[in-house]
Amino acid sequence: MSTLPKDSFFNTVKHCLYDPDYFHGLVSKTFFDALKYLYLLIVLTLFIGSVKTAITLIPQTRSLPTLVQNITRFVKAGYPKDLVVTVKNGQLQTNAKEPYFIELPIIDEKTRADNYHFITIDTKARYEDFSKYRTAILITKTGIITNDGNKKTLKIYPLENYNFVMNQSKYDQFTNMILPYVNYLPTIIIVLVSLLLILSPFIAALFMLIGQLIFLLLAAFLFFITAKILKKNLAYKTVYILSLYGLTLPIVLNTIKNLIPSLYQYIGQGVSIQTWSLATRIYNGLPQLLYFILMVLVIARYKNQSDKSQLSPQSISTTK
């Protein structure tokens, strides 16, 4: 039966999961060796998570044609038939009775019941009047006013230096130019999401790696103290490097745990909140607990150089 090469990545992963004695052969590894190994391991586990995400997103692609239809319908119905808007020397005027309201073609019942508008045109309105119009966009004589994101401030887009006339005919000419590109939207979304799922593990792994390096500053120090108590000749740097390889166990266990559906739907129902909360904390903390146990075993089973050497050559006398 074929076996993995001794120094291969996957062979290291396999033995770091369960074999404390395997770590004794890693004392010669450099910090950079351990860093490369841990980064590749994190990337691999994150990529597995990306595959799971991709599988859950595949059924959502069926709704993309409907999205294109809704966008097309929204764009085509977006401009009122008889409305003419003229901007001259930065000042706006319309041929409609104001305030003039433009509603979304697709609107939920709550928004409709609240009498909330998409666009309101009122050339007599002022900046201070925005809140009373209950609108997403307020167009005044000299500018366009909107909410500044989630902040409780307003943003103004002045109309100065603009001169144009907008009516349904010109609006249709513009939409006829852009609507053909809307059909490519599903492909664009799929490509962008695919790139994100492929590239995100490499980027996220960098941040996770930094977090693990910081975490190990203290954890490796505790293992170093353990080594001193057990009279093991291990320097802090060596313990730190071994601790990096030891992270294989919690990283793999957490990856498996994230792939498993919530246990609550299988065993949690009918259990008291206090009991389930305690069980959840134990379940979530198990990978870290096993990591600490593994590292203590690695240190405890380590043999100092003097312990591993054989008896020194001596002259052996023979009896006559």
Residue-wise DSSP of 130-188: GGGG-EEEEE-SSEEEEE-TTSS-EEEEE-TT--EEE-HHHHHHHHHHHHHHHTTHHHH
The last residue of a domain, from among 166, 200, 233:
166
List, as one string, the DSSP characters of 64-112. Answer: HHHHHHHHHHHHHTSS-TT--EEEETTEEEESS-SSEEE--SS--HHHH
Does any domain span residue 29? yes
User: What is the predicted pLDDT for the residue at 117?
Assistant: 84
Does any domain span residue 320? no
Question: Is the pLDDT assigned to residue 89 strictly greater than 80?
Answer: yes
Select from 14, 9, 6, 4 the least CA-distant residue to 36.
Answer: 9
- Domain count within the chain: 2
Higher pLDDT, 274 or 176: 176
Say if residue 25 is in the same domain as residue 113.
Answer: no
**Rounded distance, CA 146 to CA 155, Å?**
5
User: What is the predicted pLDDT for the residue at 263?
Assistant: 52
Does any domain span residue 26? yes
pLDDT averaged over every residue in the chain: 84
- Residue 118 in 3-state DSSP? strand
pLDDT digits (tens, 9 = 90+) for 264-274: 455 555 556 66
**Rounded distance, CA 24 to CA 36, Å?**
19
Say if residue 240 is in the same domain as residue 286.
Answer: yes
Does any domain span residue 65? no
Does any domain span residue 171? no
pTM attached to this predicted model:
0.69
Say if residue 98 is in the same domain as residue 143.
Answer: yes
Helix ranges restricted to H, 230-300: 236-246, 248-259, 273-300
Say if residue 288 is in the same domain as residue 241.
Answer: yes
Structure token digits, residue 241? 């490097």
Does any domain span residue 63? no
User: What is the predicted pLDDT for the residue at 316?
Assistant: 38
Instruction: Identify the domain containing residue 122 by its residue range.
Output: 84-166
The last residue of a domain, from among 136, 166, 196:
166
Does any domain span residue 3? no
Q: What is the mean pLDDT of residues 152-174?
A: 88
Say if residue 51 is in the same domain as residue 199.
Answer: yes
The last residue of a domain, from among 97, 132, 166:
166
Does any domain span residue 143? yes
Say if residue 197 is in the same domain as residue 303.
Answer: yes
Say if residue 196 is in the same domain as residue 302.
Answer: yes
